[in-house]
Amino acid sequence: MAKIKTSEKILKCATRLFAQHGYDGTIMDDLAEQCGVNKASIYYHHKDKATLYENALIALFTPIADAVVAAVSVEDDPVTRLESHIRMFARASADNPYFSAILMRELASGGANMPVSARRQMERVLALLGETLLLGESKNIFKPAETLIIHFMIVGTINLFVTSIPFRKSLPGASRADQRKNFDIESAAAQISKIIIDSLLLK
């Protein structure tokens, strides 16, 4: 139990800091202090800052892609598959709020520093969506559509929804009902699903 604790603790803490401040904005001294470990321990377990970042991203991206793939691939009906896809991606993003922030930063810098293994996880999700849309087309349920645009719609909308939660909480007004509608990821996922499927379905 105690074996991997420090390494894990560093990774978790680093993920938070990378999400909050970006790669350059994350200071190794601060990380050590906030982890409650010595700085040399970080370097002992994770080699250097770049490797630590890579480790953090792999640990962050992989389970999310896994969850989406697992949930979708057991379904046969294209509509159900797409609903599961969006719901699971939304849930996974909300469960791991640092994922969206880091993904957005990476996309903002053109995926320059993104490790291939992390990028591959996003490609898995994109490929899965492609399969679902193609299945829908071949069954005469869906109109033809651009996979990439649908993917961007899902990811982009969820990204903004998740990362803006703390920001929106500090906004004025909004009733209890609004609050729920605005902060509940399940409700957001359902709305996104509805919009996309409405447009995709052959009338």
Partner DNA sequence: CAAAAATGTAACTAATTGGTTAATATTTTG
Partner DNA sequence: CAAAATATTAACCAATTAGTTACATTTTTG
CA distance 188 to 194: 10
Give the one residue of 11, 18, 19, 49 binding DNA; rule: CB under 7 A. Answer: 49
Does residue 160 touch DNA according to CB under 7 A?
no
Which region, judged by CB under 7 A, interacts with DNA, from 21-29, 86-94, 143-151, 170-178? Answer: 21-29
Give least dist CB 109 to a copy of itself, A.
6
Give the one residue of 43, 69, 126, 145 binding DNA; rule: CB under 7 A. Answer: 43
Report what 107 binds from a copy of itself, DNA, none; CB cut-off 5-8 Å by kind. Answer: a copy of itself
Beta carbons within 8 Å of 45's beta carbon, 6+ residues apart: 6, 7, 10
First-to-final CA distance of the chain: 57
CA distance 58 to 52: 10
Closest CA to 154 of 111, 196, 114: 196
Closest CA to 18 of 79, 101, 84, 82: 101
Give least dist CB 19 to DNA, A.
15
Which region, judged by CB under 7 A, interacts with DNA, from 3-11, 72-80, 106-114, 120-128? Answer: 3-11
Which amino acid appears at position 104 of this protein? M
Which of 41, 113 has the CB closer to a copy of itself?
A: 113
* Sole residue written with tokens 């052959």: 202
Binding stretches for a copy of itself (CB under 8 A):
19-25, 100-102, 104-105, 107-111, 145-146, 148-149, 152-153, 155-161, 163-164, 166-168, 181-182, 188, 191-192, 194-196, 198-199
Which of 47, 194 has the CB closer to a copy of itself?
A: 194
CA distance 55 to 122: 16
CA distance 31 to 34: 5
Q: Where does this chain bind DNA (CB under 7 A)?
A: 2-3, 5-7, 26-30, 37-41, 43-45, 48-50
